Structure 1
Amino acid sequence: MKKKTNKYNIFQKIIKKEIKSKIIYQNDNLTAFEDINPKAPIHILIIPNKKIKNINQINIENKNIIIEMIFIAVKIAKKKKIEKKGYRLVINCNKDGGQEIPYLHIHLLGGRKLGSIG
């Protein structure tokens, strides 16, 4: 019988380079990589290297990780030359919010005109 892998382990394996992924950026705190199921021509996920389940788990001790994640998203948008035309940053939270993997991540989407939400 094949062992079932928890979805959150996918991100941890990408961080450790146990799963091949196109990593765009990595430092001691964050990893950014191309989404395997892109919703736009540019679809990059930015994740903390230390597991945080979702945005609700941001607290006084780890609050700076969100600032760094956004800072790196902007840096990547500039590198991909989409900062002038525009892009979208998305953080989903829990099942009803559209979060499929229980691991905090920001979606950086761009490269075409994105439809409105809401």
Structure 2
Amino acid sequence: MTDCLFCKIAAKEIPADVVLETDRVLAFRDINPQAPTHVLVVPKAHHANAAALAAADDGLADDVLKAAHDVAVNDGVDASGYRVVFNTGPGAGQTVFHVHAHVLGGRDLRWPPG
């Protein structure tokens, strides 16, 4: 998509603090972090949300989750615990309609938040 922020980041048209890249996935630090580790993991191919990613059925969802785990390991939050969040739809807080996983860690993340 030509007007998609995350497509532009994946295409290196917009700079980002990239922490991991594979042939199909890009991970970069969130510009408004909600935890010491707050990294967004996006597929380079455009899918609007987690439901669309799951429907693609080509192993890309696996690649996103594997990259999320690799981010947690690289940031040293895998042992203490981390959260992977997909917001799907505006009612769930999705503001960029290119599927992305938030990898959060480095602070207490017990549920419910607060």
Q: Find the structure with the greater CA-based Rg.
A: 1
Please state how far the C-alpha of 1:88 moved relative to its aligned partner: 0.4
Unaligned runs of 5+ in 1: none
Equivalent residue for 1:93? 88
CA distance in 1, matches of 2:42, 2:87: 13
Of residues 19, 22, 27, the one that matches 1:27 is: 22
Using the size of structure 1 for normalisation, the TM-score is 0.86
Alignment of 1:72-111 (within 5 A): 72-111=67-106
CA distance in 2, matches of 1:101, 1:110: 21
Unaligned runs of 5+ in 2: none
Equivalent residue for 1:54? 49
- Structural RMSD (CA): 1.7
CA distance in 2, matches of 1:71, 1:112: 21
SS of corresponding position for 1:90: strand
Matched, 1:67 2:68: no
Give the paired residue count.
111
Please state how far the C-alpha of 1:115 moved relative to its aligned partner: 4.2
Structure 1 residue runs of 4 or more that deviate by more than 2 Å after TM superposition: none
Identity %: 32
CA distance in 1, matches of 2:68, 2:110: 20
